[in-house]
Structure 1
């Protein structure tokens, strides 16, 4: 029996990294925290202070966007659902330093119009109106935000729907929060939120990529200056392939941006937190995206059906065969930098619920039965891992079916094992005499 299989029957290795991982020496990002992620694989290509909690400002709205989209998907509301503006949302709207659109009361606004103002113009008052519609109140909506954050595995704290500092909410901070409270997210959790928003609701990009539109008869601009704006002043920030996602600014949080771009079928997600200016957040995003597109190429390191040398079989108990061959159920493709492919290996992790105490699979076994996972292991420098723990691995499956041996063969095997054990014990006893 292979010692390997007895030692590797575990159920997962967390791909988590402590704060302040040494940043890539060739990439100096001028921001408090930053991260770059390959969307298809979840592989983190670069990270700086990615686990430090910081105020995300209006990037908070990505969680509001997620919950609105979820409510639409579940049929609780639709794009055509209408709502009126509460006194609270109206008060925020009346403050021109907090809202870019002027809402009026005693008027019905559609979810679509409110969502576009929130996603494109980062409007705070329309965000509050949506939170009240979906949650019944912003207080209840904040509870929904924190529950969803827990489900997504975020390291975060949500205290309001808009991303404003609570002190700026005209005394209307949600119950259970204080005037001093701030929304908090890590760069890694912000990337996870953006990843799930795009994965679960890809239509968000159709709205997030609109440079300019109208709301209630007025023209509103997208604060994402990396989109193809017509204004000459913004052409310096344009980046080919960018189609989202969310800007953010507060005095406490500085200038933030969660960007995403797609080139040649490869989508990247970037997060820049607490940069010093509007220009800087876009410049640093360009630097991150350039680093990803210029240095990493998707490579299939291990194809479907690959068998790890020396570990091609798993022992079987009570079967017509004593072993069964195993292989990868899927190929493993990741973005690889330079000649780093040679630094990747695999580690098998068998599902111990499938094994007996001797580390054997128990017949009968079906062909293609999942018996564990193959985890991708990187042995080079600056391994930032993946944004979720289930990424970077594929199922291990059996290549053949193994029928259960009949009672006669099982009996003969048991008798053979019995006499083999007696013989072994006798040999050991005789050896002990000398």
Structure 2
């Protein structure tokens, strides 16, 4: 028994020693499973603004409060309503008692709006987008939806249309419902809008793609309003502000006690634009220092590289059989190059993946003549084992692919050629049968 105890003790000491050594060799980020950038924000995400290719994420699917970043959805719907002719920039909006009272409520971000006075949609939009005016946001919601309650229905419907997954909008401004002076459009008395960082990035991605003019307002460092006052943008990373960052021109900040401090940013240098989101930072400054870390990482680490050349012909599926054609096969090639924002120097890690459109093939897996040069036969995309984040949306994924097309015309063979092939095929089958039978004799 004593010998067994000694062996057990030695074994325990060895295990402890190995585990201790293993722990020393693991970085804190690896040990805790936390992000390598050391962000303090509870959730974050980074993506290429052109394709929505995700380059980094931290707790991107955790549902959190979004505060005034939810005004981006209000912006989207307002811009869409203008595009569709439902409202205009010059349209006058008369301020009612509720909006007036909300605009002077203490502790809220607002530009004072006078009851009975009319403001243009553009004035209210700028007050919302630049100084995060909550009362101005409600006024816009009432114009578009008829009431803020109706507008909340539009917000949730639009969220679904845009591909958001985990969200809930209970008001247009992003305030806590308890701040709305008893005029609660949806949800409980203390509810707030919630989303994930992934959904927030999706909203920003669609906003920039569908309405790039949003940057005309979000890039303004200050707003000179009709009251003669000058209001600074809460995005302190814009030119001339405290955390000025080269290339930043949007999009929206937000903060409440429940949501903490958040920031959805976008920055462009040269032809490259990134979108970043940080959620539930613990201070105003922290959301900007975290965003600076993300954007520094983006611009220093990633670049646009050609991962598949134009006219690329796949090695294994570079040709495909053709039925009833003058030629019995056709060459395939890509109609364009595939350029992706990837980690610098990693283009070799991306391998082409060929996808043939099965609807183009007969039951024998062949194309059927005639085939025209440039006709789409499928597409080529890429895969990499070094980046498993994927793309934000299916539409973005399509941007990271190239059509696989016929490299030449293949005319349909005439009836005589087809007849001779059929005859040749018949005798060929007969000969094969006879050969097999004769072989069976010996």
Q: After the TM superposition, which residues 187-226 of structure 1 pair with which residues of structure 2 at under 5 Å, given as runs?
A: 187-217=197-227, 218-226=229-237
Distance in 2 between residues matched to 1:428 and 1:81, nearest whole Å: 87
- Tell me the equivalent position of 1:159: 170
- Tell me the equivalent position of 1:385: 390
- Tell me the equivalent position of 1:317: 323
Moved over 4 A (4+): 21-24, 421-434
- How far 1:91 moved relative to its partner? 3.4
Distance in 1 between residues matched to 2:198 and 2:87, nearest whole Å: 31
SS at match of 1:334: strand
Contact persistence 2:49–2:205 (CA under 8 A) = yes
Question: Quick one: which of 224, 230, 253 aligns to 2:259?
Answer: 253
Distance in 1 between residues matched to 2:405 and 2:425, nearest whole Å: 29
- Tell me the equivalent position of 2:414: 406
Distance in 2 between residues matched to 1:167 and 1:428, nearest whole Å: 88
- How far 1:262 moved relative to its partner? 1.0
Distance in 2 between residues matched to 1:427 and 1:249, nearest whole Å: 84
- How far 1:335 moved relative to its partner? 2.1
Contact persistence 1:121–1:222 (CA under 8 A) = yes
Flag the structure with higher helix content: 2
- How far 1:34 moved relative to its partner? 0.6
Quick check: 1:82 aligned with 2:92?
yes
Higher relative contact order (CA 8 A, sep 6+): 1
Distance in 2 between residues matched to 1:171 and 1:303, nearest whole Å: 60
Contact persistence 1:23–1:47 (CA under 8 A) = no
Q: Could you list the runs of 5+ residues in structure 1 that have no partner in the other structure?
A: 1-20
Quick check: 1:346 aligned with 2:347?
no
Distance in 1 between residues matched to 2:440 and 2:188, nearest whole Å: 77
Q: After the TM superposition, which residues 366-385 of structure 1 pair with which residues of structure 2 at under 5 Å, given as runs?
A: 366-380=372-386, 382-385=387-390
SS at match of 1:83: strand
Distance in 2 between residues matched to 1:362 and 1:335, nearest whole Å: 37
Q: TM-score of the superposition, structure 2-length normalised?
A: 0.86
The size of the alignment, in residue pairs, is 406
Contact persistence 1:313–1:326 (CA under 8 A) = yes
Q: After the TM superposition, which residues 123-272 of structure 1 pair with which residues of structure 2 at under 5 Å, given as runs?
A: 123-155=133-165, 156-175=167-186, 177-217=187-227, 218-229=229-240, 234=242, 237-272=243-278
Tell which deviates more after alignment, 279-288 or 150-159: 150-159
Distance in 2 between residues matched to 1:431 and 1:372, nearest whole Å: 44
Distance in 2 between residues matched to 1:433 and 1:62, nearest whole Å: 82
Deviations 1:238-297 (A, max 9, x none): 111111110011111110000111112211111001111111100000000000111112
- Tell me the equivalent position of 1:17: none
User: Could you say if the C-alpha distance between residues 210 and 411 of structure 1 is closer, same or farther in structure 2, counting changes exceeding 3 Å?
Assistant: same
- How far 1:43 moved relative to its partner? 1.7
Distance in 2 between residues matched to 1:421 and 1:137, nearest whole Å: 77
- Tell me the equivalent position of 1:113: 123
Contact persistence 2:307–2:348 (CA under 8 A) = no
Question: Quick one: which of 107, 111, 136 aligns to 1:101?
Answer: 111
Decide which structure has the larger Cα Rg and report it.
2
Distance in 1 between residues matched to 2:195 and 2:349, nearest whole Å: 32
User: Could you say if the C-alpha distance between residues 408 and 227 of structure 1 is closer, same or farther in structure 2, counting changes exceeding 3 Å?
Assistant: same
- How far 1:376 moved relative to its partner? 1.3
Distance in 2 between residues matched to 1:411 and 1:53, nearest whole Å: 67
Distance in 2 between residues matched to 1:224 and 1:112, nearest whole Å: 20
Tell which deviates more after alignment, 387-396 or 31-40: 387-396
Deviations 1:106-127 (A, max 9, x none): 1111011000000000111111
Q: TM-score of the superposition, structure 1-length normalised?
A: 0.88
